[in-house]
Amino acid sequence: MISVKKNIIYNFIKTTMSLVFPVLTFVYASRILLVDGIGKINFTKSIVQYFSLFSSLGIATYGIREGAKVRDDKLKLSQFVHEILIINCISTLIAYILFFSALILIPKFKEYRVLLLIESFSIMFTTLGVDWFYGAIENYRYITIRSVVFQIVSLTLMFLFVKKESDYYIYAAIIVLSNVGSNLFNFIHLRKYIYVKLVGDYNIRRHIRPIIFFFAATIAGNIYLLLDTSMLGFLTTDNEVGLYTAANKMTKMAVSIISSISAVLLPRMSYYIGNNEYDNYTKTLNKTFHVIIMIELPVFVLMFLFSADILILFSGNAFLQANTTAKILAFVILFIPLSTVLSNQILLPLGKEKYQLVTTMTGAILNIISNTILIPVFADKGAALGTIIAEGGVLITSLILAGKTFNFSDKITTFKNYIIGMLVMFAIIILLNNIHMQSILKLFVVTSAGICSYVITLYFLKDNFFMEMIDYILKVLKRRKK
């Protein structure tokens, strides 16, 4: 059996690097391209992602879930991969037809045409990448190494070729390369796991109905993730898009790292359900909830209280106007990781795609309504408020629907220690924040003190899960010492 702990570590590294790289490039590029340049890049990126979503359908999640069930049978796995690729190639062709039609027919796109064309390469590379396959067979080591190598190469290219404010075309090309350029190697690497030649007996029709559900859920879910940037681009200026991008990047970095723990467990949870190992399923689910809540609470405190310092550190003084937006967006750190657990570890493994569709549709509708009302009045701050409303709606709906199959009432009280620890941490940081010292040093000292206070509080409260983690870490250290 593949080690879950190792997969979590590999996926954590991959997710961290996929966030650290954009942060490093953003730290550099934001100071070169400034607010307007960053705004142009992210507006066009949000537009292309709609077509990329159509191209990928709901295959990413569906492929992981169903592929995990047949991964031990090479013939069935090959058959499954071939069928999914046929569907994916057809959807990609249709996506490009729609993309070029939009490029010609929508006047707003005329001034962004070159950027849109550069970004559009990601549609094709995403299809060829079959990242879902490596998730299904739980080969996170390969995915991690491949991603890190390409990110290092792309970062080097960034420093070499992005030198002035007008280099945003080069920046866009490098970003595409870093995100999906390595996917070509995925496609070549497939022959190691499946039969490349046609195996016959294809049954494409059996995938259509579940893929439609996943596609609808993916579209609904990503509409409210992309709509804020798209609507800002249409209703305001590149400047507001740039400010929102800076604030949103901070939050996405934190959320993605936390949520990676849940994402990597989807194939394992599907495997447990498929093999009727319900005890293992329940134990893993309980541990995941504890880990997510234990991590997300202190991260929220840090992102909320130090939003201005983090903006200056990563984006420069030109983006400081986004401070209020960043504070608003910090609240999604409390919502999204929990919603991800409810989706990836309860609804999807149990085959409740319909429920997931309801939750994401709720978020999409709330986001469209709130953005329409708030963006014209509050610009980037309105988009942030719309995101909070949407994510809050998704979490509440997910809790209600997941509660039909999993009892949460006996779990809530076990999280009280983390809330106490968060409040102690909040108070310590507020008290120490009045100390006069150099800003970066102060950020480091106060953050470290806050985290230590959180850990010490959990230790004195003798939180069961926290003490289990400490015991496990000590045992691992003793074994390595021996």
- Beta carbons within 8 Å of 440's beta carbon, 6+ residues apart: 313
User: Cβ distance 31 to 233 under 8 Å?
Assistant: no
Give the Cα separation of 435 and 130 in Å (integer).
Answer: 51
Give the Cα separation of 61 and 331 in Å (integer).
Answer: 26
Q: What is the pTM of this model?
A: 0.68
In 3-state terms, what secondary structure has residue 434?
A: coil
In order along its 482 residues, the chain shows pLDDT tens digits of 455 556 666 666 766 666 677 677 777 888 888 778 888 888 888 889 888 888 887 787 787 777 777 777 788 888 888 888 888 889 899 999 999 999 999 888 888 899 999 999 888 887 777 777 777 776 667 777 777 888 888 888 888 998 888 888 898 888 887 767 677 777 777 888 888 787 777 888 888 888 887 777 677 666 666 778 888 888 888 888 888 888 887 788 778 777 766 665 556 666 666 666 677 777 777 777 878 888 889 999 988 988 888 888 777 777 888 889 989 999 999 998 888 888 777 777 676 767 877 888 888 889 889 989 999 988 889 989 998 998 999 899 988 888 776 666 656 666 788 889 899 999 998 888 777 766 677 778 888 898 899 989 988 888 877 887 777 677 767 776 66
Give the Cα separation of 56 and 50 in Å (integer).
Answer: 10
Structure tokens at 274: 């498929």
Structure tokens at 178: 């870093």
DSSP states along 451-471: HHHHHHHHHHTT-HHHHHHHH
Q: 406 to each of 75, 260, 410, how far by Cα in Å? A: 35, 22, 10
Domain ranges of the chain: 4-408, 413-482
Q: What is the pLDDT of residue 206?
A: 83
Report the amino acid identity of residue 303: M
Give the residue from 63, 68, 103 showing the smallest Cα distance to 81: 63
Structure tokens at 83: 């069928």
Q: 117 to each of 52, 168, 219, 380, how far by Cα in Å? A: 13, 13, 22, 26
Give the residue from 351, 347, 337 showing the smallest Cα distance to 398: 347
DSSP states along 122-174: HHHHHHHH-HHHHHHTT-HHHHHHHHHHHHHHHHHHHHHH--STTTHHHHHHH
Kindly report the length of the chain: 482
User: Cβ distance 357 to 364 under 8 Å?
Assistant: no
Q: 253 to each of 37, 145, 329, how far by Cα in Å? A: 21, 20, 12
Give the residue from 147, 146, 160 showing the smallest Cα distance to 18: 147
